[in-house]
Amino acid sequence: MIQKTIKELAAMLDVKNDVSAFADVTIHGASINTLTITKENLFIPLKGEKRDGHEFVGDAFEKGATAVLWQADVPNPPTDYPVLIVDDTLKSLQELARKYREELEVKVVGVTGSNGKTTTKDILAELLSIQYKTQKTIGNFNNHIGLPLTILGLDKDTEVAVLEMGMDDFGQIDFLTNMAKPDAAIITNIGEAHLQELGSRKGIAKAKMEILNGLREDGLFVYPGEEPLISEQLSTRKHDWKTLTFGKDPTNDFYIKQFTMKENGSEFHINQSMESFFLPVLGEYNVLNALACICVAQEWGVKYEQMNAAFQKLRLTQMRMELMKGLNGSTILNDAYNASPTSMKAVIQLVTDLQGYDKKILVLGDMLELGEQEAHFHQQVGKSIDKNEIDLLYTYGKLAAHIAEGAKQNKLSPNKIHTFTNKQGLIEHLKNQLEDGTIVLVKASRGMRLEEVVLSIINHRV
C-alpha cells in the first residue's frame, strides 16, 4: 500500500495549507471509511448525498489515522492533527492514485464487460499468482472511487494488478483506464446492462471499448471474437496492440473444443493445449470467462500444466455462483449480486442442464437499468424457461412479473408460477418447497437484495 510522508503527499497534491510542522509524519494506506480504517491510514473524507465524511474525521484519528485530507469549502478543519487542505477530496484521492500508479513498476490488467468481469478478475488473479506477486480489485471496488482506493492499496513490490472497471455511462471507463494504464485489457462480453443510459448494445460496446484508451501501445487486448460490435469498432482504430480472441467458434484464437458440466464444476478442453482443465465453477459462460484469463496468463508466461492448480484455489467474490447448502438438504445456487438478460438466460440454462436433482426452482427478481424495453427483456427471460425441466418459478418485483408472463407463454403451468412483491411472503412460501434433491437458483439485480432470501434458506456453504 502507499507509504508516504506528509511532505511527500504535499508534493503529490495541490495542498493549500502549511504542513511543514508534520513533514516527517508517515501514512500507510488510505481509507474513506472509519469502519474499515486501520492504523496509520490517510483518511480521505468524501461528501455524499446523505452524509459528509468530514463529520467522521475525529473518529478516524481515534481509530489510528495519522493524517487527513480536508476539503477547503468545509469550515473548521482540525488543528491538532496533520491536515492537508485541498480543493476537492475526491479529485485529490484520484490524483494521488494516478501519481502513485506512475511510480509503481507493476503490470496491470484491466477487466470490463457487461457480465462476468468480477468472476474473470478472480480467475485471472489466481492464474497470474502462480508466476507473479498479484493483487486484485477487492470485492466490487470498480468505479471512480473504488479503483483509486485499489491502486493506493497496491504494495510497492506487487508485480501484477488485476483491476476491474465498471461503468453505467460514457466516459467512465475512459477515466478509469487512463488512471490504471493497463498493459492488457479484457472485455468479457457486450450485454444489455445499462441500456437505459447507453441506448443500445452498440452504445454499450462503444462505452466498453473506452478501456483501450489507456492501454499501453505494446499491450494485449483480449475480447470475444464472436461479438461483431467489438470487431466493427476495432477495425476503425489504428493500434500496435496484440489482439487475442476467445469463444466457442474455431475462428477464435482460443476456443472451447469440449465442455462437460459436472456436479461441482466444469471440465473443458481448448484448442491451444492438450490439458484437460477443471474449473470449480458451474456453467459454460464461466468457462468462457476462464478462457479469456487463459489468453492473458499464457501470454505472460504461465504454463498450461500449472493452471489447474490455480483453478482449484479459486475463491469467487461472494454472491456470484456460490453453491450453498439449504434447508432440509436442499442446494442453493446464489447468483444474487447482479443480473442482465444475457446472464439470467445463461444461468437458467445452467440449472436446466444440471443432472442429479429431483426438483429445480428458480427465484428471479427484477433486472434494472434496461430502459424502454425492460418489460420485453423480462418476458424473453420467461420464454427461455424450459417447462419440462423447471418445477417452480418464483418472481419478485414488478418487472419480474413479466418473467412470469413469458413463462406462461412458453407453456409453463400456472400452478408452477408464484409472483411476489413481498419478500417475506416469498421466503415463507419457498421454505415449504425445500427438501433433499432440490436446487434453488436465486438471481436478480443488486438493488433487489435477494441475498436476503438466500440468508433465510441456507444452512451453510457447501
What values do phi and psi take at 214, rounded to 5?
-105, -5
What's the pLDDT at 461?
45
Per DSSP (E only), the strands in 283-412 are 322-326, 331-334, 359-365, 392-396
Please tell me the distance from the alpha carbon of residue 108 to that of residue 378, in angstroms, as a whole number. 37
Fold of 104-312: UDP-N-acetylmuramoyl-L-alanine:D-glutamate ligase (3.40.1190)
The secondary element (H helix, E strand) that includes residue 406 is helix 401-409
Nine cell digits for residue 107: 503490470
Q: Where in the chain is the domain with CATH 3.40.1390.10?
A: 3-89
The single residue listed with the C-alpha cell 502462480 is 130
Q: Where in the chain is the domain with CATH 3.90.190.20?
A: 322-461
What's the pLDDT at 194?
53
Q: Where in the chain is the domain with CATH 3.40.1190.10?
A: 104-312
- 315: pLDDT strictly greater than 50: yes
SS3 of 376, please? helix
SS (H, E, C) 425-444: HHHHHHHCCCCCCEEEEEEC
Contacts of 426 (CB under 8 A, 6+ apart): 363, 394, 396, 418, 420, 453
Give, in degrees to the nearest 5, the angle at Cα 163 between 157 and 164.
Answer: 165
The closest of 124, 192, 211 to 445, measured between CA atoms, is 192
**pLDDT band, very low/low/confident/very high, at 318 (cuts 50, 70, 90):** low
> What CATH number was assigned to the domain covering residues 322-461?
3.90.190.20
Please tell me the distance from the alpha carbon of residue 307 to that of residue 294, in angstroms, as a whole number. 8
Per DSSP (E only), the strands in 296-391 are 322-326, 331-334, 359-365
**pLDDT band, very low/low/confident/very high, at 324 (cuts 50, 70, 90):** confident
| Of 83-97, 199-213, 307-321, 419-433, minimum mean pLDDT range | 307-321
> What CATH number was assigned to the domain covering residues 3-89?
3.40.1390.10
What's the pLDDT at 66?
95
What values do phi and psi take at 143, rounded to 5?
-115, -160
Tell me: the pLDDT tens digits for 22-43? Answer: 999 999 999 999 988 999 999 9
Please tell me the distance from the alpha carbon of residue 120 to that of residue 130, in angstroms, as a whole number. 16
What dihedral angle (degrees, nearest 10) is formed by the CA atoms of 334, 335, 341, 343? -120
